[in-house]
Structure 1
Amino acid sequence: MTNTYTNHKGIKAALTSPPSTGHLEHKDTLATGLYLRVYSTGLGNFIHRYKIKGIRRVYTFEGIALNAKSTEKDIASALTKIRALHQEQRNTLATGLDVAIERDLNAKAINAIPTVSEFATTFIERYAKPKNKAWQEQERILKADVSIIGTLKINAVERKHIIRLLDKKEDAGAPVARNRLLSLLSKYFGFALERGLIEVNPAKGIKKLPEKARDRVLSDNEIRLFWQWLESNKCELATNSALKLALLTGQRVDEICTIQERYIQGDWWLIPDPKNSIPHTVFLTDTVKAIIETLRPHSHEGYLITDLKNQPKDAGTLAGAMYDAAITWESEPRPTPHDLRRTFTTGISKLGFNRLVQDKVTNHKDNSVGGIYDRNDYQKEKRQALEAWERHIQEILTGEPVSNVIAFKTA
């Protein structure tokens, strides 16, 4: 005779009378193929016996287990839930899908969801590198600022986690860095959304903080103190050289940190793929050439400025070095590597070089009609500006006038 149950009372009776060995199955009288399996230990769980494409299958429901101590209320609740799940499965079977296979596929999909740190690698390789020339800075931010939530599955990240990361930046007095982090996280989770890993971008809709444009320029005395600090070798060669080149050439630090031997062509340095995608040349003064010579013995795979792992120097590390510099700055805020570029531009302006020459030397994009049609490479003017700036730096460092420091009123 088949053992059956119709309601929670029947299940309670089955649980209180387990078999002496093995297990015993009790058939649900109201749900086709649904059984309660009671073990000799007194534990009971539900199974679904069904047949699909001529094959008999058994599906064991997980997460719903009962025993002799379960109350009738708990049993009634479990029975309601299991019959609802059973009906969903019957509906799935009617479409020709095997519920056991679907369960296994879902389990694999869940296990395949990457953590925040794991997906960072995919984001950098498939999104950041193809779209952003400063991808190394994005990689650094993900490693440094997002590692706190790195072990979370990416679909488990909530808005509150993002807020905590941003608050940490804001509390450190870095509103600009906070806004940059927000922008990166928005792109990061937007890419995850595009790839079907999450349903909602947790960074979307969070407002940026107001920013005050920086206008920090180093004074002549600060330039002298900064150079003396670099000359004292308080930081390693790669950092030291990159900061010197930033001050002497006025170029972007991420482009300086990826300078390659093959692009040094006589007195000129070619930047083939800069931030604005306009190939650019930089005249190399004697001081700059001397710095490059000190770097050559330490180059790796053609890169002149490398870290201790023989990788191109991460430009993002330069800010920390400058911040920690043992220098008594004359004003706040403490200068950053980008302020060296602003100092350079302001400096050659004071030497008499007009805005056009400033833009050509620093490779600022000119979207005017004249800029679009002007194909002059301005190498003569670039050379004059960089040589004049080098002479001015020498004057600052030595405290003595250099006889050939002259101001070019026009170029």
Structure 2
Amino acid sequence: MNTTTNPFVFSTDREIQAYKGKEKRYTAKDKLNNGLFIDIKPTGRKTWMYRYTFNKKQEKLILGRYPDISLKDARLLRDEAATKIAKGISPKKEDNSLQTELIVFKHYGEKYIANVVAKDRSSTSTMQLYLDNDIYPIIGHLLITDVTIDHIRKIIWNKKDQGHDPTAWQIRGLLSRMFEYAVTLGFIPYNIVLAIPSKHVYKYRPRERYLSKDEINIFYTTLLNMEKIQRQYQIGLILSLITLLRKGELIAAKWQHIDFENRIWLIPKTKADSNTSNSREMIVFLSDQMICLLQELKSLNNMSDYLFSGKKIGTHISHATLNIVQEKVLLKSQLQPFTIHDLRRTASTHLNELGFLENAVEACLNHKIPGVKGIYNKAVYQSQRIEMMQKWSDFIFNLICISSDLIGHHS
């Protein structure tokens, strides 16, 4: 028989791709490499095998799945195994440990973080903490095919029972994405996490979130005590609260727009108005604490045009940088999740509760005040805003329990 036309003998990837699942599983062999086969199941799943003789016994080595392992790589694995056999070493022992690593959930999780998450995010630390602290202790040692919905429910409800529903919701999301990817790779037939709808774990309402006085104390005290967090990021999160700036306005700020002598910080371009699509210039009146923090930041980034210099010369930090730092603090402090943008709502809520003029607060947030008053808000509310920004800084620093004289020199 001419083996080049035999559908069960292959020499190229195209020929392997042409194999389809049949009523019964079957194998095809590599024309060029003795002992290398591919097993095709009725589902169409294809698995590499190397058949060989060791100590006068026929053995089979599972090399992995196709197309995760290409024909070229399978041939290399076959050659490595053949070399071991020639030296009197059984490749079967290594195969057992390898297969265990490939199937055990912890190993799969490590591959998922490295191959999927790391490609989309600049930091994987938050997800890694969820895995290490909440997921691996329950299912890390199990084969991925042995994980059940009861295991998933236990992981999620352990967190809910601790009173951390939003974190449980985030963990449920991570698990769902991991099992969805496992389905894609053919490790499991379906995503078992979908049996627990996210709405039954937690309904996230970001627009209502603001920090109480106790939460401000806990978050910022935790932030300042985390030595591994760079000082400029600590300053960035403090300024986010006391300046009322949006994150994008803060990280894109340049030193040329700060006038220390007149205690003014100009934001030349802000988020566009939703009605007119026009960006409005904004002024931040600097408090003593802001000046202190900015001067320290200047000493840290004295060669950059930006307050928060990026890794590359002439750039500022990315939009995700402060988010990542904030997530680390959230995990350590065990506070309910909030976004950096929620700090603006936090400031607005407390300033109104402290009795400051509502329109002055809105002006500090750079919200458009309706009517004729809005046209003149910068001039009309300047004195109120200067006083308010100083008292707001005093209020926050008292909550954090760090003196204004010391916070700029915190180490």
> Computing the radius of gyration over CA atoms, which structure comes out larger, 1 or 2?
1
Provide the TM-score with structure 1 as the length reference.
Answer: 0.48
TM-score of the superposed pair, with normalisation by structure 2: 0.48
